[in-house]
């Protein structure tokens, strides 16, 4: 019998494709590829498949989530600025049954007031912010533990 690997989606919203060269004093020097590579490497050691997706367009992210989210065992999402205003993305996340973690590289509580209205975060199980790239590592750890508790075998 072949057992299918669990699937985790790694989703990035607007402007995150420019990581590494976009305001490095806030977001650091790692590119999106660096972050994706980190998670792909960690996950492959755990026998988990990761599907990466980035878009600057709210609707494309929602389409992708509806296409892949129901067949996935977990979602790590950095929605970028959509986190602060997209009720549409929050509704989409809420409709997906798997565990979800929202990650922000920067600590939103140290930033402008308009970044402190959580719209998508309440649709997720957990939120990690201000830990840079390490936040993704933590999000993966949470999802793996969640899968263990749910009895989902890796690989």
| CB-based contacts of 59, cutoff 8 Å, min separation 6 | 88
Report, in Å, the least distance between residue 24 CB and ligand DQA.
12
Cross-strand pairs, 95: none
Interface residue with ligand DQA, options 61, 65, 101, 105 (CB under 6 A): 105
Pick the stretch among 30-38, 43-51, 99-107, 147-155 that binds ligand DQA (CB under 6 A). 99-107
Pick the stretch among 33-41, 58-66, 90-98, 103-111 that binds ligand DQA (CB under 6 A). 103-111
Integer angstrom CA distances of residue 36 from 10, 16, 88, 92: 8, 12, 25, 23
d(C-alpha 131, C-alpha 141), whole Å: 14
- Indicate the residue among 24 and 155 with the shorter CB distance to ligand DQA: 24
Residue 64 is among the residues annotated as catalytic for this protein: no
- Just list the catalytic residues: 27, 104
């Amino acid at each position: 019998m072949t057992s299918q690997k669990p699937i985790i989606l790694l989703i990035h919203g607007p402007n995150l494709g420019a990581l590494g060269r976009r305001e490095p004093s806030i977001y650091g020097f790692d590119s999106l590829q660096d972050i994706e590579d980190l998670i792909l490497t960690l996950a492959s050691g755990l026998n988990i498949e990761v599907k990466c997706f980035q878009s600057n367009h709210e609707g494309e992210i929602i389409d992708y989530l509806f296409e892949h989210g129901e067949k996935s065992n977990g979602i790590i999402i950095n929605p970028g600025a959509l986190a602060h205003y997209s009720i549409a993305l929050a509704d989409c996340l809420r409709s997906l049954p798997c565990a979800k973690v929202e990650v922000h590289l920067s600590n939103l509580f140290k930033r402008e007031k308009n970044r402190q209205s959580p719209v998508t975060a309440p649709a997720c199980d957990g939120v990690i912010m201000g830990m840079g790239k390490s936040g993704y590592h933590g999000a993966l750890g949470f999802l793996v533990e969640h899968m263990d508790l749910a009895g989902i075998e890796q690989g």
